[in-house]
């Protein structure tokens, strides 16, 4: 029978780049300035397409995405050498620029499309107790 560490290692799908093997999944949430409900009337559809294009260009995997009128939920996997902050900054920056160009009413309604902040949380990791046990048992291997 597998112990918790062996089970975890077999159940996680890892990715790799030239020198890192990883599984870095993030739940990210951000809002329009003043939490205005502006992601409607086609803006939401265009925003989704833009996020898919940007993530495709930078090899960021979208696991799930939902656009609400006043916020976005994005579950994605990002190469740790690229970094989650860089990914979010890139997505927010480009989508703001393009959407404000294409939908003039966004420019007149908001000084900038997005708030400066965002929420991020890692997901899909092993429970803390499993990681602690794995580290504690390293000398016994």
- Per-residue pLDDT tens over the stretch 8-64: 556 678 888 888 888 899 999 999 999 999 999 999 999 999 999 999 999 999 999
User: Residue ranges of the alpha helices (H) in the chain?
Assistant: 4-11, 43-57, 84-102, 104-109, 128-136
Query: Is 98 among the domain residues?
Result: yes
- 4 has a pLDDT exceeding 60: no
9 assigned to some structural domain: no
Q: Under 8 Å CB-to-CB from 90, ≥6 apart: which residues?
A: 54, 58
Counted domains in the chain: 1
> Is 135 within a domain?
yes
Domain assignment present for residue 43? The answer is: yes
The whole-number pLDDT of residue 15 equals 85
pLDDT (tens digit per residue) in 121-141:
999 877 778 778 877 888 776
Find the domain containing 106 and state its range.
23-140
Task: Tell me the CATH number at 122.
Answer: 3.30.70.1290
**Alpha carbons 59 and 122: distance in angstroms, whole number:** 18
Q: Are 24 and 80 in contact (CB under 8 A)?
A: yes
Residue 14 resides in a domain: no
How distant, in Å, are the alpha carbons of 4, 69, 71 from that of 56?
A: 34, 24, 22
Catalytic residues: 134
């Amino acid at each position: 029978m597998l112990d918790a560490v062996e089970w975890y290692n077999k159940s996680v799908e890892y990715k790799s780049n030239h020198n890192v093997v990883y599984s870095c999944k993030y739940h990210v949430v951000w809002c329009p300035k003043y939490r205005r409900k502006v992601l409607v009337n086609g803006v939401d559809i265009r925003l989704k397409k833009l996020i898919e294009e940007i993530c495709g260009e930078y090899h960021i995997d979208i696991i799930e995405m939902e656009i609400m009128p006043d916020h976005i939920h994005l579950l994605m996997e990002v190469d740790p050498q690229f970094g989650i902050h860089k990914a979010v900054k890139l997505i927010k920056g480009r989508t703001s620029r393009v959407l404000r160009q294409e939908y003039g009413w966004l420019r007149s309604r908001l000084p900038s499309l997005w708030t400066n902040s965002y929420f991020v949380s890692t997901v899909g990791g092993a429970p803390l107790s499993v990681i602690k046990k794995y580290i504690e048992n390293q000398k016994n291997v």
